[in-house]
Amino acid sequence: MASRIKILPENIANKIAAGEVVQRPESVVKELLENAIDAKATSIELIIKQAGKSLIQVCDNGSGMTEEEALLSIRKHATSKISTIEDLESINTLGFRGEALSSIAAVCQLEIKTETHDEEIGTLIKIENENEITTEKISTAKGTCVSVKNIFYNIPARRKFLKSDTTELKHIVDTFNRIALANPEIAFSFYNSDNLISDYKEGTLDERIQQVFADNMLDALIPVNEETDYLSIKGYIGKPSIFKKSKGEQFLFLNKRFVINKSINHAVFTAFENILEKGDYPFFILFISLDPSKIDVNIHPSKLEVKFDDEKDIYNFVLSVIRKSIGTHDLVPTMSFTDSNNGDEKLAFNPFQSVKQNDFSDRPLFSSRERRERTSVTDEEIDLVFGDLKKNILPSPISGFNAESDEKILSSDSESHLEKSASTDSETTFLIQLHNKYILSQIKSGLMIIDQHVAHERILYEKALSRLETNLPFSQQLLFPIKLQFDLASYEILKELDQMISKLGFKLKYLPKNYILIEGVPDDIKSGSEEKILKEFISEYLANQSQKHLEEKDNIAKSYSCKAAIKAGDKLSEKEMRLLIDQLFATSMPYVCPHGRPIVIKISLEEFDRRFGRTS
């Protein structure tokens, strides 16, 4: 009986193997551009036609190849980049597997023109059909020019599965831009059907970012830079105003190689926690430098995936560096009027507002001395700003926001931070509560608007997290304990969480028949709202648990802060507003609430001048 197991013919085996490397025209572009970079080129040109389906050509001014080298380069597993097994431990080139040109030759028509800098004459190699190789001597430019025609011409089934020209072109453009970003010292040009669509001159990373994205792109970015002997990270992260609802603008380079790593992506996303609204993706361009022996890029022929020896340490390093970079920049978004599609103007975030590191002066902050001396806005000040409207605007204080006791919560660290951040040349002259929802305040650059509910929510969230960590509850005992009956599920959850919520300041006694006796509550809760807040807290906790799968401590802090915060419609005194602002900007993340909604926006004086037609 003949054996049913046979060794595949070489031409079939080659086509199967080539499918791992050449998945679409973009794969060819990537491999050829990386070969050009490995050849020490300083100028690279990419030409494509019909989204790469009929032609992909990459020409460089690199080292070039002799005829012998060129013939070897199209052989399977032929490479100039490694020679021993030890070389796999320290890969410093983009290519090393020796698969690119042989795989391309198996499924495309290939032509190579090449000449070294030492030779007077170059070499032309053509592969029109499999195993039909022709060579001749020609006069050509120094370097190498590889032309790839009719991708998958000999595998109709694969060619049929290619997407539309628009889709394939987008993949090529994305790969071209990634490689160009990683190598700003190299000049890149890109022609699509004879039209020059990108012409990047050699320069710095900043210049390349401006070339690839926009001239003012750097104003929308926050720099990242941290160097250690073992690991270094540099680059940029985007401000919240340029977050997108789709993936694709996360650029991670490991030793100048574009890679995809879920762990590092997660570290960046985690650093942006509570800034990201649901469905948002942050923008970043990050370059990580690490000893090649500590990483493995040889997982897949595409070399996009990577494994680290100590992934946890790298995760923590990236997380802490990004958090530090975010924390040293003022991220309050600026609003401006822009033209919409129908010609009308609308108010929208302006991402291109340059911010400097550690400059927090554009805030309505008040020094300790000013807070003690100024306890109210004078009638004259209100008259100056709003004429006779003061009787409709100046609110009476609410009982729940205790300015006297809450003032003690500001630590000495917060005091010094506020003093350091306060503007010396622009004193706040008014604070106004708009419709008992928003606080309006003059700042150095114009007007700041604060959502009072989410501002207080952020303050309470961080206070709750701190209490859950330190186990130092502040509880106010009730003169008359309150007896409540809960449904069985809520009763059991409260009982289960008792140790945690007691750290917030709740003192509960669990009675038969699902009754709970409230004996004490956190000092943030105003008198008369104890029952309502406890019921709303547990309802919010259960909803978060089923829908958002939050970590328990985070869920407790978010649920409590959401329900205990002052509400839209609550009147605040001027002193309470000042204290709320001071406490907000003493938090680690004053820009967004724990759920990702914005707390603060700014409208610049220039924007007001423009709207009112002022020229000076």
**Confidence (pLDDT) at 128:** 84
Q: Give 394's DSSP letter.
A: P
Angstrom distances, CA of residue 345 to CA of 334, 336, 337, 341, 612: 16, 10, 6, 9, 14
Give the whole-angstrom CA distance, residue 594 versus residue 368.
28
Contact in structure between 524 and 564 (CB atoms under 8 Å):
yes
Q: Give the 3-state secondary structure of residue 113.
A: strand
Query: What is the rounded CA–CA span in Å between residue 92 and residue 81?
Result: 9
Q: Which CATH class is domain 362-616?
A: alpha beta
pLDDT tens string 330-379: 887 787 776 666 666 666 777 667 777 877 777 775 654 444 444 444 55
Distance of CA 198 to the CA centre of its chain: 25
Strands (DSSP E) found in 193-323? 195-200, 221-227, 231-238, 250-254, 257-258, 284-290, 295-296, 307-308
pLDDT confidence of residue 77 = 59
pLDDT for 143: 95
Q: How far is 182 from 287, CA to CA, in rounded Å?
A: 8
Cβ atoms 26, 175 nearer than 8 A: yes
Domain ranges across the chain: 10-204, 213-327, 362-616
Neighbours of 564 (CB within 10 A): 25
**Closest among 41, 165, 149 to 94, alpha carbons compared:** 41
Instruction: Return the biggest CA–CA distance within the chain.
Output: 108
| pTM, full prediction | 0.71
DSSP string for 154-182: T-HHHHHT---HHHHHHHHHHHHHHHHHH
Distance, in Å, from the CA atom of 530 to the CA atom of 520, rounded to the nearest integer, reads 9
Cβ contact 596:275 at 8 Å:
yes
Segment holding 527, helix H or strand E: none
10-204: CATH number = 3.30.565.10
The answer to whether 493 touches 503, Cβ cutoff 8 Å, is: no
What is the sign of the dihedral through the CA atoms of 283, 289, 290 and 293? positive
Which phi and psi (to 5°) does residue 110 adopt? Answer: -120, 140
Contact 158, 25 (CB under 8 A): no
Angle 467-459-596 from CA coordinates, rounded to 5°: 110
Cα separation, 218 vs 206, in Å, equals 7
CB 34 within 8 A of CB 182: no
Here the tokens at position 76 are 């399977």
**Range 333-336, long-range pairs (CB < 8 A, 24+ positions):** 333/239, 333/240, 333/241, 333/591, 333/598, 333/600, 333/601, 333/602, 334/241, 334/445, 334/601, 334/602, 334/603, 334/604, 335/601, 335/602, 335/603, 335/607, 336/603, 336/604, 336/607
Q: How far apart are CA 458 and CA 330, in angstroms?
A: 16
CATH number corresponding to 213-327: 3.30.230.10
Residue that is written with structure tokens 């969230």 in the block: 461
C-alpha distances (whole Å) from 213 to each of 206, 216, 241, 283, 512 are 11, 9, 15, 12, 65
Do 129 and 105 form a contact (C-beta atoms < 8 A)? Answer: no
DSSP 326-381: HHTS--PPEEEEEE-TTS-EEEEEE------TT---SS----HHHHHH--S--HHH
Q: What pLDDT sits at residue 11?
A: 63
Distances (CA, A) of 589 to 218, 515, 595: 22, 38, 12
Residues 605 and 467: their CA atoms lie apart, in Å, by: 40
What is the rounded CA–CA span in Å between residue 46 and residue 433?
Answer: 59
E strands, 404-459, are: 431-434, 438-443, 446-451
Q: From the first residue on, what is the mean pLDDT of each consecutive set of 10 residues in the chain (616 residues)? A: 68 56 86 92 96 95 92 71 49 56 85 93 88 88 94 82 90 95 96 94 96 91 90 90 76 88 87 75 90 64 64 88 88 73 67 75 61 46 43 41 51 42 48 91 89 94 90 84 91 92 92 93 88 91 81 90 91 91 89 85 87 77
DSSP code of residue 486: -
Element (H, E) at 43: strand 43-49
Look at the block and give the residue holding tokens 């495309």: 108
User: Using CB atoms within 10 A of its CB, is residue 357 exposed (0-12), middle (13-18) or buried (19+)?
Assistant: exposed
Distance between CA atoms of residues 506 and 467, nearest Å: 12
Crossing angle (nearest 10°) for helices 552-564 and 452-470? 140
Say how many C-beta atoms besides its own lie within 10 A of residue 407's C-beta. Answer: 14
Which stretches within 422-508 are classed as H helix? 452-470, 488-496, 498-504
